[in-house]
Structure 1
């Protein structure tokens, strides 16, 4: 392997651009699946939330059913009391006792009416909750199906790109090892400071790639000469000429295609 100190400026520029192309491909792979893990996690949270909600609604329905049973038992108790008080009315000694029993019977009838009202309200509540349960069950099944699809998609991408990513990471380390530390540090600093992660760019139509600022003709000549490392005064990116960039793209594309 060529010693770092023995590299010409052109070889350093080629190594830097190769490193950029490799790292950009790694970025593409990670971006390709980047949103999927988040989508999968979000769907898992939604499925868990809907499952908990359905369990809560089911428990609430069961609880209301129990309350209906209690009210029905209460009604039976009230009816038994009415029956008892009615029988006692046949054996009273005066009007005061008769009226007292009549009031008890009226009270028990009111309790029955109130209990029946509550039962009606409980049943209406159950019907409403059953509608909500049906809607949420349908939504849950849809989310589960969507989750299954997204998990399958993510697993497929992971399976397809795992080997490529591992090889490219090794290649990235290989090209990094060719470049002196100060240049690697500068490359990483520029890369981390720009949104598209492009630290090394080529000249395209007289401007650095992705920039609207024209590179002066004399600077373009110096870049094409490959005698020194030149950066874009506006973006700080390292610049390479279009011919070198095309040659290195073909080389790296061939490496990627062979994976």
Structure 2
């Protein structure tokens, strides 16, 4: 069952989402060769708690850390460890918080040092597919419209769209209805309603769409060992149109990047 949020609740959710955004912005300066993902995880937990929030992933379904850290061929749900990042790596950092009883949850795939052009293209197209999906999150559309837009953009570039892992509704629990696949058919699935909040999160592989899981019970990898990218935003349906609750602006500020990609989805 979809749980619409009032405008007051959406503003509380924006607070939760923005703590995630600020955490990712802080981490952007720290992601570099030689740094361990466990070190980044500790920095994030301290930052989140300093902002009067709780790390949402820590203990969720028994997950052991505050961040999901997934480098290179890891798609999602990687567990932080002591292995240093290397020049040319990419790493998806997925972060969640709880504040005011509501969850924030989004992700960004970072470049580590100098990344090759083929991998840069994967990241760019995956992020583009996120915004293609968000544009379809509007009154009159359905879940399949978002999935179709993401799938079409990614597959037009020859990439594999992961099927087994999906976006989701968001609110007082981490995973609410509806599930938001990154593939689908136009006009199919649950109808969007005013006030709903979802996490849209394309997981796109450079090669095959097929995945496998490590014995740790968490880490998901591409079956062919090629890189995977993951970008995620929290989006509310306000006055019939998509409005971002999260932002990558703090990341871009840290990295000295100028971007207007989010302007069409920001609160007026």
Whether TM exceeds 0.5 here: the answer is no
TM-score by length of 2: 0.23
Larger helix percent: 1
TM-score (norm 1): 0.23
More strand by share: 2
Select the structure with the greater relative contact order (CA < 8 A; seq sep ≥ 6). Answer: 1
